[in-house]
């Protein structure tokens, strides 16, 4: 015999991280086959992988493929036993690094069997190389769906490679394979393991990306249903709250931020700002806006507004507080109406409570136009300079609670100048400026004018 009978298969393995031929595993303690004169049969020939004596000295590099095929083919029948060894190794070799809790034991066993079988099939030459291998890809896909960490899978593949290598070493011992060829066998084994691991990783990551896309699509659909008011269905509200990690009841705000000219949105960093306050929120990107559902729970609305106002770099609108997911659809409608009260180009966060008159006008654009024409039509037909002067005077007078003295201070002119301008407006519109009805109508008309001009910019 050309090697010691008591040599164990695992003595072919050294955990030498500097040995590239074996993927970090050196062959034996030095040359385990002994000197070259020990490698010949008694007839002087060199043994083949199958132990057949050949009178021709074969180059080990050329012989490695034949040796690999022969050894792997001989161990194909032992796949079930090798699978048991791998199952034991998974849970005994640093078990704290292993988390297969989502995988039934039978499923794990079958995956290990398929993997070990595929290694031997490739090494025996009965199946093509490991790149894009269907078995490794299927394992990666299934484990990703089950939520097994990729690191756990790669560790299992390495353990499986070690077990296959040990089995091939044992087979080589049994068959009297050419020891010079075993270096090539080791290279082949770890090349296959690396290739299968790469295929596993690619399939795993692609499956994760697809799962994330599906989750995002489902999440998007759920939020759209909430905005459409579907949460009035209690069962839907409860299911959606669980999936989005939101409370079913409690106070909610809906926030709408327009799309900015640069393709971003009028709010940036809002989720981090709210998370810092331990406020839960969900944000949805839509075609032309960013919509947020903010669960206030026990917090005051002003806490959220104070955190978000500095982040506004465009038009942002906030709904009134509503109760529970069931009213989120209504809150979204009110937030969209509020957004319409903000002029294009403005960088501000506004609430409905701050813009009730304007919101009424936005809700009824035709009525707003008629109000504007009936209250201020003749003034709007004047030359620009006179028109703007009269409108500025009217606005100042109304904002100063109809005080001509205060309006004069604000406009930096004499009180009589204010009176003359107000008389001019009265004569143009044909109705008095005093009285509750006139005050409300004229104030709304000025708001309608600002909205119209702001939306035209």
Residue 15 pLDDT grade (very low, low, confident, very high; cuts 50, 70, 90): very low
Q: Quote the pLDDT of residue 181.
A: 83
Q: Indicate the range of 91-100, 105-114, 245-254 predicted with least confidence.
A: 91-100
Please indicate, yes or no, whether residues 50 and 197 belong to a single structural domain of this protein: yes
Domain span at 21: 9-207
Q: Quote the pLDDT of residue 326.
A: 94
CATH no. for residue 405? Answer: 1.10.10.2840
CATH no. for residue 274? Answer: 3.30.70
List beta partners, residue 254.
293
Residue after which a domain boundary falls, among 362, 382, 400: 362
Q: Quote the pLDDT of residue 115.
A: 96
Please indicate, yes or no, whether residues 19 and 168 belong to a single structural domain of this protein: yes
Mean pLDDT value across residues 247-276: 93
What's the pTM value of the predicted model, to 2 decimals? 0.64
Please indicate, yes or no, whether residues 84 and 145 belong to a single structural domain of this protein: yes
CA distance 136 to 197: 7
Residue after which a domain boundary falls, among 362, 383, 414: 362
In-domain check, residue 225: no
Please indicate, yes or no, whether residues 96 and 52 belong to a single structural domain of this protein: yes
In-domain check, residue 93: yes
Residue after which a domain boundary falls, among 362, 394, 414: 362
Q: Quick one: tokens of 298?
A: 């026990």
3-class secondary structure for the chain? CCCCCCCCHHHHEECCCCCHHHCCCEECCCCCCCCHHHHECCCCCEECCCCCEECCCCCHHHHHHHHHHHHHHHHHHHHHHHHHHHHHHHHHCCHHHCCCCCCCHHHHHHHHHHHHHHHHHHHHCCCCCCCCCHHHHHHHHHHHHHCCCHHHHHHHHHHHHHHHHHHHHHHHHHHCCCHHHHHHHHHHHHHHHHHHHHHHHHHHHHHHHHHHHHHHHHHHHHHHHHHCCHHHCHHHHHHHHHHHCCCCCCEEEEEEEEECCCCCECECCHHHHHHHCCCEEEEEECCCEEEEEEECCCCCHHHHHHHHHHHECCEEEECCCEECHHHHHHHHHHHHHHHCCCCCCCCEEEEHHHCHHHHHHHHCHHHHHHHHHHHHHHHHCCCHHHHHHHHHHHHHHHHCCCCHHHHHHHHCCCHHHHHHHHHHHHHHHCCCCCCHHHHHHHHHHHHHHHHHHHHHC
Please indicate, yes or no, whether residues 313 and 255 belong to a single structural domain of this protein: yes
In-domain check, residue 216: no
pLDDT at 42 exceeding the cut of 50: no
Q: Quote the pLDDT of residue 6.
A: 34
Question: What are the tens digits of pLDDT across the range 92-104?
Answer: 877 777 789 899 9
Number of folded domains that form the chain: 3
Please indicate, yes or no, whether residues 274 and 387 belong to a single structural domain of this protein: no
Kindly tell me the burial class for residue 319, based on how many C-beta atoms sit within 10 Å of its own C-beta (0-12, 13-18, 19 or more): buried
Give the strand pairing for 53-54 and 26-27: unpaired
Q: Indicate the range of 57-61, 146-150, 214-218, 408-412 predicted with least confidence.
A: 57-61
In-domain check, residue 143: yes
Mean pLDDT value across residues 237-241: 94
Question: What are the tens digits of pLDDT across the range 57-81?
Answer: 445 555 788 889 999 999 999 999 9
In-domain check, residue 29: yes
Please indicate, yes or no, whether residues 190 and 305 belong to a single structural domain of this protein: no
Q: Quote the pLDDT of residue 62.
A: 54
Q: Quote the pLDDT of residue 329.
A: 96
Q: Indicate the range of 9-18, 115-124, 352-361 predicted with least confidence.
A: 9-18
Q: Quote the pLDDT of residue 129.
A: 82
Please indicate, yes or no, whether residues 376 and 341 belong to a single structural domain of this protein: no
Q: Quote the pLDDT of residue 13.
A: 38
In-domain check, residue 172: yes
Q: Quote the pLDDT of residue 132.
A: 87
Please indicate, yes or no, whether residues 341 and 380 belong to a single structural domain of this protein: no
Q: Quote the pLDDT of residue 179.
A: 80
Percentage of the chain beyond pLDDT 90 is: 70
457 vs 316, 345, 372, 376, 384, CA distance in Å? 17, 8, 18, 21, 17
- Is the pLDDT higher at 3 or at 207? 207
142 vs 102, 145, 361, CA distance in Å? 11, 5, 57
pLDDT at 457 exceeding the cut of 80: no
Q: Quote the pLDDT of residue 25.
A: 38
Please indicate, yes or no, whether residues 249 and 353 belong to a single structural domain of this protein: yes
Question: What are the tens digits of pLDDT across the range 259-269?
Answer: 988 889 999 99
Q: Indicate the range of 22-26, 153-157, 165-169 predicted with least confidence.
A: 22-26
Across the chain, mean pLDDT equals 85
Q: Quote the pLDDT of residue 60.
A: 52
In-domain check, residue 57: yes
Mean pLDDT value across residues 205-215: 92
In-domain check, residue 155: yes
Question: What are the tens digits of pLDDT across the range 374-423?
Answer: 999 999 999 999 999 999 999 999 999 999 999 999 999 999 999 999 99
Please indicate, yes or no, whether residues 283 and 412 belong to a single structural domain of this protein: no
Please indicate, yes or no, whether residues 324 and 255 belong to a single structural domain of this protein: yes
Mean pLDDT value across residues 180-189: 89
pLDDT at 250 exceeding the cut of 80: yes
């Amino acid at each position: 015999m050309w090697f010691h009978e008591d040599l164990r298969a695992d003595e072919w393995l050294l955990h030498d991280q500097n040995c590239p031929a074996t993927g970090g595993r050196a062959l034996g303690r030095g040359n385990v086959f002994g000197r070259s004169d020990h490698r010949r049969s008694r007839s002087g020939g060199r043994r083949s992988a199958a132990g057949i004596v050949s009178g021709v000295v074969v180059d080990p590099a050329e012989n490695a493929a034949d040796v690999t095929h022969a050894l792997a083919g001989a161990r194909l029948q032992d796949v079930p036993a090798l699978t048991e060894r791998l199952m034991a190794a998974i849970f005994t070799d640093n078990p704290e690094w292993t988390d297969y809790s989502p995988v039934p034991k039978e499923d794990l066993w079958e995956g290990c069997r398929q993997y070990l079988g595929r290694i031997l099939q490739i090494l025996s030459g009965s199946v093509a190389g490991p790149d894009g291998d269907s078995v490794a890809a299927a394992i990666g896909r299934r484990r990703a769906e089950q939520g097994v960490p990729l690191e756990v899978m790669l560790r299992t593949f390495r353990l499986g490679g070690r077990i296959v290598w040990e089995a091939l070493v044992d087979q080589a011992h049994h068959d009297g394979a050419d020891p010079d060829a075993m270096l090539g066998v080791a290279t082949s084994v770890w090349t296959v393991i690396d290739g299968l691991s790469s295929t596993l990783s690619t399939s795993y990551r692609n499956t994760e990306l697809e799962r994330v896309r599906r989750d995002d699509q489902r999440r998007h659909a759920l939020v759209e249903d909430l905005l459409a008011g579907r949460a009035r269905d209690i069962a839907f509200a409860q299911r959606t709250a669980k999936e989005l990690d939101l409370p079913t009841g409690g106070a909610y705000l809906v926030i709408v931020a327009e799309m900015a000219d640069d393709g971003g949105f009028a709010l940036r960093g809002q989720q981090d700002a709210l998370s810092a306050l331990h406020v839960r929120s969900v944000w949805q990107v839509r075609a032309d806006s960013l919509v947020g559902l903010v669960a206030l729970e026990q917090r005051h609305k002003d806490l959220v507004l104070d955190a978000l106002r500095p982040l506004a770099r465009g038009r942002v609108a906030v709904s009134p507080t509503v109760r529970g997911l069931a009213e989120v659809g209504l809150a979204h409608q009110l937030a969209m109406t509020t957004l319409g009260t903000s002029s294009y180009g403005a960088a501000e966060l506004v609430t409905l409570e701050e813009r009730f008159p304007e919101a009424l006008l936005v809700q009824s654009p035709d009525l707003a136009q008629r109000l504007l024409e009936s209250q201020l039509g003749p003034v709007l037909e004047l030359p620009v300079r006179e028109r703007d002067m009269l409108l500025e005077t009217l606005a100042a007078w109304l904002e100063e609670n109809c005080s001509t003295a205060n309006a004069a201070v604000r406009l930096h002119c004499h009180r009589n100048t204010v009176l003359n301008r107000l008389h001019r407006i009265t004569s143009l519109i044909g109705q008095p400026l005093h009285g509750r009805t006139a005050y409300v109508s004229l104030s709304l008309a000025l708001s309608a004018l600002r909205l119209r001009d702001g939306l035209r910019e």
